[in-house]
Structure 1
Amino acid sequence: MSAARPYIPQPGRRSAPTAAFPQDRRRQLLVWWREIDRVLLGLILLLMSLGTIAVMAASPASANRLSTSDVTLSDLHFFWLHIRWQFLGLCVLIATSLVPHELARRGAILLGAAMLVALVLVPLIGVERNGATRWLNLGLQFQPSEFLKPAFAVILAWILSWKVRDPGLPVIGVSGGLLGFIVIMLMAQPNFGEAILFVGCWFVVVMLAGLPIKRILTLCGVGLGGLVLAYVFYDNARNRIDAFLGGGTAYDQVDLASRTLLGGGWTGTGLNLGNNKMRLPEAHTDYIFSVIGEEFGLLACGVIVVLYLAIILRVLVRLVDEDRLFIILAASGLIALFGGQAFINILMNLQLFPSKGMTLPLVSYGGSSTIAQCFSIGLLLAITRRNPFLSREAFDFGGGAAKARKAGAQKGKRR
């Protein structure tokens, strides 16, 4: 067999296109391993391992609560299901992290467009559960907002990075319009907690994009006003806030979670020796942090909190030497969504936040939500891949904003 002839460009013809991936799969994996943030990957795997143990502890409570006279669920029913979903999630995480960041950006934009369409379909053909219509059943039941979150962070970073090319583009208005549409669709479900999470992500990314202080203060005022209006005119928000402040069914549920959290003291009762968890609703999802507190102790809860903080800090440290605005904004948005959801769930278990059906990322039991969280982390790993032998110059936020304003002023004078 003769060797392949080398490519020789002809006059008037373009050069041969470069392959998106290395030809050799082994070489591709070596490049991935060299460029990936291995510390972040290790922290994520550690968190998922602790989550597996936590679901094992919480599974008997939920299985006993959901068993009927016709169907009796085994104590480890949710644990075995969780193992399967975690395996699928890890496959999604690794596969996503292997994708080049340009392809990852395009894929996230397409996913975001599809999830926006799905969000519109939810009120029409969605599945109702616990008084809320948030899920679609298209062979596999999933919550579109879960998959929209990582896509939204990337789309938002993409829109705001337009100002590097043309400072005159109304990127704040475009991104704000997209946010407004998503918030309206979420509140119609109703899903006020997720709406707050999207707003928080938008606020973080917009601030990092170089928004002036005056406009930031104005946005804070608008946000506070929106919260007041939501309390006055939006029943879901008002009921949750009233229950949190004045007591009621939702508050009693959170109060039970708090008692479960403190029931094990500093070191816990031991695996499967907790009693309070058996009366706790959604022990394997929303209130798994309380189960950890009862069976493994407050020290274990502290380890979980420190682990989340370490993941957030690791991403921020990784971005210190980054010189591309899109990468900085996208990674910041993704970690803001991840960390925001984690600490909302933890604060809810500590009676410091109104009751909200929001899982603890990568720790709580989840089906499609686990896949969505793993996709989000895989996307984060993909866009922060970096050749360790290439030095970078840190992005100058102040200088970049000043150059953008100067270019806009010069463009106005020419007109």
Structure 2
Amino acid sequence: MSDEKTSVRKSWFWDFIDNIQGDKVILIIITMLILFSIVTIFSSTSLLANADTSRLDIFKGQMVTVAVGVALIAVCYLIPKIWIFRFLSQFGFLISALFLILLHTPLGVEVNGAVRAIQLGPIQVHAYEVTKVAMVLYLAWAIHAYKNDSFKVANLLSSRYRSMKFLAKPGCKRFIYIFAPILLVCVGILFGSFSSTVFIGGIMFVTILIGGIKFKDILAPAVLCVAVIAVCIGIYWVSGGQVFERFGTAINRLAIGEKHQNIKDLKPGTVEFQDALDDIIQPASAKIAIHEGGIIGKGPGNSTQKYTVPLMFSDYMFSFIIEEYGILGGILVITLYVSLLARASLIVRSCDNEFAKTAVAGLAVLISGQALMHMFINADLGPLTGQTLPMISHGKSSFFAFSIAFGVLLSISKMAKAKIMKEEAESEPLVEGLGIQDDNVQNTLAELDDFESGRG
């Protein structure tokens, strides 16, 4: 009797899995990343615990975060039509601009030395995490509208007012709807983080290249973008570092390699030695964690570097994973993100409209690109950028934003799969269309052989 119940339970589970129409490889990747997140957050957040908050409280909070994230994935997955995503995505730039503007109001909250979050009642929202996903989806909409000439406002104004005829030109639409939003968002982010500006700006440019915008059309806006950054640097120097102060942070991070050398010449116990040590403690401890992890790691809960690296649970999560789970654990995580990129390329081939193709490719590049950058920084192959490990590192805003991204990927893969199945079903009655019934196929082939051999 118990065996029958177990069989029924297993049957129910696999029936549920079979009924999921989205890409099952991406579903497996999401599940693995979430499991990694639950385990590593519980083990790596020792320094977050204090007199008011225990590690168990942090773990419970992470479970709530995961539950909300899974709900967001489910909501996106259940959206039945691609036009709904496309309609909502056109507001991505406005949402990004609103969040970046709110950073300069009393709602702005300082995080790690810069105003990057917005306090909305009990909820703290990291503006840059929202901007990443929102802008990729917006650019997917803009590229779709550009290729189909469906910018309604520009078309309406150019047709009604002679003075606005220039809005009908493709180059003008391209600048207003694609390049100008990218430039404005980059400047908005530049107030709080130079590294995030470079990363998010790079992702946006890659997205429009994937979407089919020609490289020659990007050159002029790219030069303009460099010029704007140069002006911002000038403002930074003239203001004595009071405006765009994150340039100074970027310069200090680029100079960490030099500080590694300088600390050897300083006397231990001096103020200069301690300041230099504080600057290099995180990247140095991250490398120690990777070294001590070895092939199989120290085992869950046995990390020692989590007590010396304040941001081990976010900015240095990959180092923590290797310390506890070894190179093998690190390879598994790398495989998950690379597999996502490979799987997304297959989904893109199945999509039949520009929005779906650009959204899937852009989101996959965003997730995998941020993961790879996080890994490079953890291996001390570049300056600290503050980019977390998607769906694994601690942080509600990041987890929710990437949950939406994964939900969109699953939903579009479901729609693409349904379309392919429909086309296959419509193309099945090929033999019947030739006037040959299934039961008579063998007889017909035999008659054809007789005819060719001269016996018919």
| TM-score under structure 1 length normalisation | 0.78
Q: Report the CA distance between 1:33 and its aligned residue.
A: 4.4
Q: Report the CA distance between 1:91 and its aligned residue.
A: 0.6
1:129–1:198 CA distance, 2 compared to 1 (3 A): closer
Larger Rg, first or second structure (1 or 2)? 2
Aligned mates of 1:180, 1:243 — CA distance in 2: 24
- How is 1:102-251 mapped onto 2 (pairs within 5 angstroms)? 102-110=83-91, 112-125=93-106, 126-139=108-121, 140-166=123-149, 168-169=169-170, 170-174=172-176, 175-188=178-191, 190-215=192-217, 233=236, 235-245=245-255, 246-247=258-259, 248=276, 249-251=278-280
1:78–1:287 CA distance, 2 compared to 1 (3 A): farther
Aligned mates of 2:30, 2:173 — CA distance in 1: 33
1:238–1:179 CA distance, 2 compared to 1 (3 A): same
Give the one of 349, 363, 366 matched to 1:334.
363
Give the one of 24, 28, 43 matched to 1:38.
24
Aligned mates of 2:301, 2:232 — CA distance in 1: 41
Task: Report which structure shows greater RCO (CA 8 Å, sep ≥6).
Answer: 1
Name the structure 2 match of 1:400. Answer: none
Aligned mates of 1:305, 1:227 — CA distance in 2: 33
Q: Report the CA distance between 1:240 and its aligned residue.
A: 2.6
Q: Which runs of 5+ in 1 are unaligned?
A: 1-28, 393-415
Name the structure 1 match of 2:239. Answer: none
Report if the CA contact (8 A) 1:262-1:298 is conserved. no
Q: Report the CA distance between 1:120 and its aligned residue.
A: 0.7
Q: Is 1:94–2:99 an aligned residue pair?
A: no
Residue identity matched to 1:205: T
- How is 1:8-19 mapped onto 2 (pairs within 5 angstroms)? none
Name the structure 2 match of 1:306. Answer: 335
Q: Is 1:253–2:234 an aligned residue pair?
A: no
Deviation digits for residues 66-114 of structure 1 (CA, Å, limit 9, x no counterpart): x2xxx25433442221111001100111111111221122223345423
Q: Report the CA distance between 1:206 and its aligned residue.
A: 2.0
Residue identity matched to 2:212: G
Name the structure 1 match of 2:46. Answer: 60
Name the structure 2 match of 1:25. Answer: none
What SS does the aligned partner of 1:269 have? Answer: coil
What SS does the aligned partner of 1:297 have? Answer: helix
What SS does the aligned partner of 2:90 have? Answer: helix
Name the structure 2 match of 1:409. Answer: none
**Whose helix proportion is higher, 1 or 2?**
2
Aligned mates of 1:33, 1:104 — CA distance in 2: 22
Deviation digits for residues 381-413 of structure 1 (CA, Å, limit 9, x no counterpart): 223322141449xxxxxxxxxxxxxxxxxxxxx
Residue identity matched to 1:192: F
Residue identity matched to 1:141: Q
1:165–1:73 CA distance, 2 compared to 1 (3 A): closer
Report if the CA contact (8 A) 2:103-2:118 is conserved. yes
Name the structure 1 match of 2:347. Answer: 318
Q: Report the CA distance between 1:215 and its aligned residue.
A: 4.3
Point out the more displaced range, 378-387 or 231-240.
231-240
Identity %: 24
Report if the CA contact (8 A) 1:95-1:378 is conserved. yes
Q: Report the CA distance between 1:348 and its aligned residue.
A: 1.2
Aligned mates of 2:423, 2:231 — CA distance in 1: 49
Residue identity matched to 1:389: M
Q: Report the CA distance between 1:265 and its aligned residue.
A: 1.1
Name the structure 2 match of 1:280. Answer: 309
Report if the CA contact (8 A) 1:231-1:238 is conserved. no
Residue identity matched to 1:156: L
Q: Report the CA distance between 1:283 and its aligned residue.
A: 1.8
Aligned mates of 2:230, 2:27 — CA distance in 1: 40
Aligned mates of 1:112, 1:222 — CA distance in 2: 20
Residue identity matched to 2:59: F
Aligned mates of 1:119, 1:161 — CA distance in 2: 25
1:226–1:269 CA distance, 2 compared to 1 (3 A): farther
1:213–1:187 CA distance, 2 compared to 1 (3 A): closer
Aligned mates of 1:97, 1:240 — CA distance in 2: 39
1:292–1:145 CA distance, 2 compared to 1 (3 A): same
Q: Report the CA distance between 1:59 and its aligned residue.
A: 2.4
Q: Report the CA distance between 1:53 and its aligned residue.
A: 1.4
What SS does the aligned partner of 1:135 have? Answer: strand
What SS does the aligned partner of 1:78 have? Answer: helix
1:241–1:293 CA distance, 2 compared to 1 (3 A): farther
Residue identity matched to 2:85: A
Report if the CA contact (8 A) 1:62-1:278 is conserved. no
Residue identity matched to 2:182: L
Q: Which runs of 5+ in 2 are unaligned?
A: 1-14, 150-167, 237-243, 260-275, 425-456
Give the one of 389, 398, 402 matched to 2:421.
389
Name the structure 1 match of 2:444. Answer: none
Q: Report the CA distance between 1:237 and its aligned residue.
A: 3.5
Q: Is 1:48–2:34 an aligned residue pair?
A: yes
Q: Report the CA distance between 1:220 and its aligned residue.
A: 6.4
1:317–1:300 CA distance, 2 compared to 1 (3 A): same
Q: Report the CA distance between 1:180 and its aligned residue.
A: 1.2
Deviation digits for residues 250-284 of structure 1 (CA, Å, limit 9, x no counterpart): 44321221212222211111111221221111122
Residue identity matched to 2:118: L
